[in-house]
Amino acid sequence: MPRWEHGSQERLKQAAMELFDEQGFEGTSAVQIAQRAGVTTRTFFRYFPDKQSILFVDADLLRAALLQGIHDAPDVTEPLAVVVRALVDFDWEGLGPRESQRRRDAMIRSNPELLERELNKQQQMSDAFGYALRQRGVEPPAAELAARVGIQVFQASYLEWLAADGETDLATVVNASMSTLAAIMPAVTRLT
């Protein structure tokens, strides 16, 4: 086996997803993933600290792209709209076909350890969004609330999109969720 070969990370990701589908997440080892990808176990660990990391490998790329969307927003007077727009504008299909995203999501939701990791990633994303909005001049309470609500609106929309047929556009689902949120907000604008 070659010591280093171009494309190893992608082959490892592909091999892992195939094995996870075939024998389950728990039933798959790093050694099996490396063998399927045609690389050494050492190469596997050069790219991933553990097999769980394969499911979250795109998190840093995702966070950077979304934060760039917040940074590039021409106007932040409506911070929730800025967060949602950054999320909608991201190329989700670039993370893989919807079907592979469905499988990844189902795998994460069926494993408490993976779900905890996913929720931590979402919290980190929300914190980063809040910070980015504050850097753009949004007051801290509004920045934090917009970041958290935006993540939740998007997460609900993303799950709906994953469950929908292949024709449904993610932006359409998010816009519908935002309309629903806007419709229920007048009822709770003042609780006192």
How many percent of the chain have pLDDT more than 70?
94
pLDDT digits (tens, 9 = 90+) for 84-138: 999 888 888 777 788 888 999 999 999 999 999 999 999 999 999 999 999 999 9
Mean pLDDT of 25-29: 95
Tell me what pLDDT residue 99 has: 87
Q: How far is CA 2 from CA 30, 68, 81, in A?
A: 18, 37, 49
| pLDDT band, residue 166 (cuts 50/70/90) | confident
Tell me what pLDDT residue 189 has: 59
One of 1.20.120.530, 3.30.200.20, 1.10.357.10, 1.10.620.20 is the CATH number of 58-188, namely: 1.10.357.10
Tell me what pLDDT residue 33 has: 97
* Mean of per-residue pLDDT scores for the chain: 90
Establish how many alpha carbons lie within 13 A of residue 62's alpha carbon, considering only the half-sphere containing its beta carbon.
Answer: 17
Structure-block tokens of residue 97 = 């076909």
More confident residue, 76 or 167: 76
Is it the case that residue 1 has pLDDT exceeding 50?
no
Measured CA to CA, the distance from residue 12 to residue 37 in angstroms comes to 5
| pLDDT band, residue 192 (cuts 50/70/90) | low
Mean pLDDT of 144-159: 94
Establish how many alpha carbons lie within 13 A of residue 164's alpha carbon, considering only the half-sphere containing its beta carbon.
Answer: 15
Q: At what angle do helices 140-163 and 112-135 cross, to 10 degrees?
A: 140
Nearest partner of 50 among 32, 35, 29, judged by Cα: 29
Is it the case that residue 174 has pLDDT exceeding 50?
yes
Tell me what pLDDT residue 60 has: 83
Q: How far is CA 57 from CA 74, 93, 101, 114, in A?
A: 30, 15, 13, 13
Reply yes or no on domain 8-54 having CATH 1.10.260.40: no
Give me the residue spans of the domains in the chain: 8-54, 58-188
pLDDT digits (tens, 9 = 90+) for 45-96: 999 999 999 999 888 888 899 999 999 999 999 999 999 999 888 888 777 7
Radius of gyration of the chain (CA): 19
